[in-house]
Structure formats: structure tokens, C-alpha cells
């Protein structure tokens, strides 16, 4: 009975309260970049040892993967509908970063939320702009989250109780990610070529 209630709750979340979009990945992905990302703003100006991985699938799907300290991977993917939404958020952060530097503003401001639904499970990506040091240092706080209606520990009826991991992209990494997304069609072509030629290796 509890699983049934959880399933109903998840359906409501996926179709109503939380705007979500189903993205189907097909074929073997290729990794195209590891984008430097910090775990906290205290380390954003120093040596960054963590990263967010970008990979693409042959069916024109690109994904960002963040690793939780426990080792769990969070993978949020983008198709022809969600990629423009993600690019718009990245471009907005560049615009706000320029304003923060010019006007010496320290601010936190929500940019957007992107969600992938997979029947009873969901991966989400929350994007928040943050500037510090009189606006001279800025980045995007990316909070990756996950819930599954069939896992009692992850979702309780009427509330979210999902594992999350937070990564911070400094300005340089934001610009790098934009560059990789702008080149995504070439990455798709490479992934498709790998798929089409895989039969030669039997």
C-alpha cells in the first residue's frame, strides 16, 4: 500500500507540481569533457580538484554528471528541448556576472531548474547565480538531486527527501561549458560514428 501511495505521489510530482521532461538515452555515450567545479565558494578561487563530467549519446542527447561524496552519480540530460533552456541559463549567468563586476554587487539569485523524468524516478538540476568579493568573483551553484518513488528512503508522501550534491562552476568553467555545448553537434557526430562502426569490431 505504501509503495502504491508513493507511486501516486511521484506521478503528481512528475506531472504537476514539478515541471519535468522525459529524456531517452540510447547507445553508448562518449565522455567529451571534465569541467572543473568546486565543492564550496571557499575553494572557488584556489586549486579546484573536483569536476562535472560531460558526455553525449548517439541519439543527440548530452548529459552532465556530478558525483556525490558517497560515490553516487547524478546525471541530468538535455535534448532539443532542454538544451536551449540550459544554454539560456548559462548565458544569463554571463550577463549577471558582467553586471556584478561592473556594479560591485554581491548577490545570490535563482536562474532556473531543469528536470528529467523516468517513470517513477527523477533527476533535477537547480541553477543559482552567486557573486562574492564585491562582485569580482562569481559562479553558478549547481544542485543535482534525485528521487525515486519506489525507494522509501528517497521520497515520503507529501514531501521531498532526496539525495543531493552541490557543485560550483566558477566563471572560467561556465565559459568552458558554454563552449562545449556550442560544439555539441560535433560530439554527436563522433558518438554516432562510434556506434555505426562498432560492428567492425567483432
Give the pLDDT confidence score for residue 71 in this predicted structure. Answer: 80
The count of domains in the chain is 1
Q: Is the pLDDT of residue 176 over 90?
A: yes
Give the pLDDT confidence score for residue 199 in this predicted structure. Answer: 86
Range of 161's domain? 2-200
Query: CA nearest 101: which of 65, 137, 70, 72?
Result: 137
Contacts 24+ apart (CB under 8 A), 196-200: 198/28
Q: Are 52 and 32 in contact (CB under 8 A)?
A: no
Mean pLDDT of 28-36: 95
> Cα 74–58–37 angle (5° rounding)?
35
Contacts of 201 (CB under 8 A, 6+ apart): none
Residue range 128-168, pLDDT digits in tens:
999 999 999 999 999 999 877 666 444 433 344 568 899 99
Residue range 87-99, pLDDT digits in tens:
999 999 999 999 9
* Percent of the chain scoring above 70 in pLDDT: 78
Contacts of 196 (CB under 8 A, 6+ apart): none
Amino acid at each position: 500500500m505504501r509503495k502504491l501511495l508513493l507511486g501516486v505521489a511521484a506521478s503528481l510530482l512528475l506531472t504537476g507540481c514539478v515541471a519535468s521532461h522525459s529524456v531517452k538515452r540510447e547507445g553508448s555515450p562518449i565522455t567529451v569533457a571534465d569541467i572543473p567545479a568546486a565543492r564550496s565558494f571557499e575553494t572557488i578561487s584556489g586549486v579546484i580538484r573536483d569536476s562535472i563530467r560531460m558526455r553525449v549519446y548517439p541519439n543527440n542527447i548530452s548529459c552532465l554528471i556530478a558525483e556525490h561524496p558517497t560515490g553516487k552519480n547524478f546525471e541530468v540530460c538535455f535534448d532539443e528541448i532542454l538544451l536551449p533552456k540550459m544554454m539560456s541559463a548559462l548565458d544569463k549567468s554571463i550577463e549577471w556576472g558582467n553586471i556584478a563586476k561592473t556594479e560591485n554587487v554581491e548577490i545570490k539569485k535563482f536562474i532556473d531548474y531543469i528536470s528529467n523524468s523516468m517513470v517513477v524516478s527523477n533527476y533535477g538540476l537547480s541553477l543559482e547565480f552567486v557573486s562574492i568579493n564585491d562582485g569580482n568573483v562569481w559562479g553558478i551553484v549547481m544542485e543535482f538531486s534525485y528521487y525515486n518513488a519506489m525507494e522509501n528512503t528517497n521520497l515520503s508522501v507529501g514531501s521531498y527527501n532526496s539525495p543531493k550534491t552541490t557543485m560550483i562552476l566558477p566563471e572560467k568553467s561556465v565559459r568552458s561549458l558554454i563552449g562545449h555545448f556550442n560544439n555539441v553537434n560535433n560530439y554527436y557526430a563522433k558518438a554516432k560514428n562510434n556506434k555505426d562502426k562498432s560492428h567492425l569490431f567483432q
